[in-house]
Amino acid sequence: MAVLVTGGTGYIGSHTVVELLNEGKEVIIADNFSNSKTEVLDAIEKITGKRPRIYNIDCRSAESLEKIFEENHIDSVINFAGYKAVGESVKLPLKYYNNNLFEAVTLLEVMQKFNCKKFIFSSSATIYGDPGVPEYVEEMGRGKTSNPYGTTKAMIEQILEDLYFSDNSWNICILRYFNPIGAHESGMLGENPNGIPNNLMPYIMKVASGKLEKLNIFGNDYDTKDGTGMRDYLHVVDLAEGHVKALDKLDKEDSGLFIYNLGTGTPYSVLDIVTTFEKVNNIKIPYEIVPRRPGDLAIYYANCKKANEELGWVAKKGIEDMCRDSWNFEKNLQ
């Protein structure tokens, strides 16, 4: 009985594979390495002592997915595969709709064919849109998304609801992540985007390592404690553990459609992250305040009560751990 992890060599997928292997689960990975490197498999092996079987496939190919189900006894699927760059999705919407939607639908069709109905999906806080309050609760439902990437997440959530409605023997968990940052404490796994990063922590990392001159802080005139944007950052290892807990939940249930926010519940500002990074790593991060980035909200964070109560999951690591572990990984890339 194995767990199929699509996108399992990516940032969140690789950390989740480690946690699953540490729990003694058998893991099969499907990834086309469009945004990851094969060396991730060596890191997973060094950390866990186990090397999961890997299929280098595009998950939009039903034929390739079917081969995995024919050759293994897949009991559940965690679906990380997809594109995730917000800005690129605005420029290339079809690329995002094609990859994210076809991948999810094809995978679900193949699962249905093999009568495998336990599914965990990587969704995002972005599906809430702009609900007008900073604390997001699952019951609020989906709002108007601000970019095609976010729309793919909202559409896949809808597809999963429709699927469950049509056949309530499915056992589905939608996890809405807030802002994952940090890296594995070994320093061997982390986030290493190609090109100039869009997200805050990867950008800070490139400034810290001297590859970029300074951080641009997008606005200091928001209605927040110091005027910079506030987010609910969570450590990627905590997030990975959330997937293990979600799988445990599905293992206990016969069927259902469950939705959980995964965050810490505590927002931090851009300046909080910069000053904490400087303090724990003893590195100066030069920055400049520049105009707001279109589409950004001032502040939002997760209400995590449901995940705490129903999954028994709580984020344990703080922003100091996130800043230290991120840098520990980046240093190893030098």
Q: Which residues are catalytic?
A: 149
Phi, psi dihedral angles at 47 (to 5 degrees): -75, -40
Q: Does 48 bind ligand UFG (CB under 6 A)?
A: no
Q: Is 175 in the site for ligand UFG (CB under 6 A)?
A: no
Out of ligand NAD, ligand UFG, none, which partner does residue 36 contact, by CB within 5 to 8 A per kind? ligand NAD
b/e string for 40-74 if b means 16 or more Cβ within 10 A? bbebbeebbebebebbebbbbbeebbeebbeeeeb
How many residues belong to the site for ligand UFG (CB under 6 A)? 20
Q: Provide the token pair at 67.
A: 């081969």
264 binds ligand NAD (CB under 6 A): no
Q: What is the DSSP string of 146-172?
A: SSHHHHHHHHHHHHHHHHHHH-TT-EE
Terminal Cα distance for the chain, rounded: 39
Question: Among 29, 6, 329, which residue's Cα sits nearest to residue 183?
Answer: 329
- Smallest gap from residue 127 Cβ to ligand UFG (A): 8
Structure token digits, residue 3: 């767990």
Report if residue 129 touches ligand NAD, rule: CB under 6 A: no
Beta carbons of 52 and 14 less than 8 angstroms apart: no
Residue 157 identity: E
The binder of ligand UFG chosen from 48, 72, 216, 276 (CB under 6 A): 216
Residue nearest to ligand NAD (CB): 10
Per rule CB under 6 A, is residue 231 in the interface with ligand UFG?
A: yes
Applying CB under 6 A, does 180 fall inside the site for ligand NAD?
A: yes
CA distance 7 to 17: 10
Note the helical H segments in 170-235: 200-208
Nearest CB to ligand UFG, comparing residues 176 and 324? 176
Out of 74, 270, 274, 319, the only residue in the binding site for ligand UFG (CB under 6 A) is 270
126: contact with ligand UFG by CB under 6 A: yes
Q: What is the DSSP string of 63-131?
A: HHHHHHHHHS-EEEEEE--S---HHHHHH-HHHHIIIIIHHHHHHHHHHHHTT--EEEEEEEGGGG---
Return the residues of window 17-46 that contact ligand NAD according to CB under 6 A: 30-36
Complex with ligand NAD: residue 34 or 169, whichever CB lies closer: 34
For residue 4, the minimal CB distance to ligand UFG (Å) is 24
Of the pair 52, 150, the CB lying nearest ligand UFG is at 150
Residue with tokens 């994952």: 180
Is residue 89 a contact residue for ligand NAD (CB under 6 A)?
no
66 binds ligand NAD (CB under 6 A): no
Binding residues (CB under 6 A) for ligand UFG: these are 84, 86, 124-126, 178-179, 198-200, 203, 215-218, 229, 231, 270, 293, 296
Binding residues (CB under 6 A) for ligand NAD: these are 7, 9-13, 30-36, 58-60, 80-82, 84, 99, 103, 122, 124, 177, 180
